[in-house]
Amino acid sequence: MTVLTTPRLSLRPLTPADLPAVLAYRNDPQVARYQGWALPATLEAAAALVADAPLGTPGWVQRGVWAGARLAGDVALNTDSWRQQAEVGVTLAAWAQGQGYAAEALRAVMAHAFDDLGLHRLQASADPRNGAVARLLTRLGFRHEGTSLRSCWHRDEWADDARYGLLRSEWTP
């Protein structure tokens, strides 16, 4: 199992014992506002986040993000079946936001994806009203490639979907 570490964080698989902490932040309305999971998030649904498959395994693979002993949130990589491209996702508990943890965690995932897994391209998708994630992705070097209008059915309304991309050839750690 690959554990990714950064100066302040450790990224490793979630275990069933972590799920109450995961539910606490995933059921926070501010954290969930632009995310796709059903509310309230349940132990049953969150159990799908527990997986020790290596990052780069086709499909979504989640990692918990620890700041010291405290679970700050989770990151994920959704790799396509040819193992060439992947989508990144990130969620932080409210207390962990505004400290650069998301950028630090995603940089580690991006370095792993490009340098170790040899992926060709990373992408991300976000609601354009989610200013924090737009700033985050731009800071990390992602290009806004376009926005599909009213293309996602999200929490009882049609929402826009902003698409971001970054090629390995454009990646500067």
Ligand X SMILES: CC(C)(COP(=O)(O)OP(=O)(O)OC[C@H]1O[C@@H](n2cnc3c(N)ncnc32)[C@H](O)[C@@H]1OP(=O)(O)O)[C@@H](O)C(=O)NCCC(=O)NCCS
Chain positions contacting ligand X, by CB under 6 A: 31, 34-35, 89-92, 97-103, 124, 126, 130, 132-133, 135-136
Choose between 28 and 169: whose C-beta lies nearer to ligand X.
Answer: 28
Q: How far is the CB of 78 from ligand X (least distance, A)?
A: 12
Instruction: In angstroms, give the least distance from the CB of 86 to ligand X.
Output: 14
Comparing CB distances to ligand X, the nearer of 55 and 76 is: 76
Strands in the chain per DSSP E: 4-5, 9-12, 59-67, 70-79, 85-92, 121-126, 143-154, 157-167
Q: Which residue type is seen at 161?
A: D
* Smallest separation (angstroms) from ligand X to the CB of 8: 9
Torsion angle, alpha carbons of 8, 59, 20, 35, to 10: 90
Q: Which residue is nearest to ligand X (CB)?
A: 100
d(CA 132, CA 135): 5
> Closest CB to ligand X among 83 and 163?
163
Q: C-beta of 130: minimal distance to ligand X in Å?
A: 5
- Taking the complex as a whole, the smallest distance from the CB of residue 98 to ligand X amounts, in Å, to 4
Distance CA 54, CA 50 (A): 12
Yes or no: say if 124 and 164 are a contact pair by the CB < 8 Å rule: yes
CA distance 118 to 85: 9
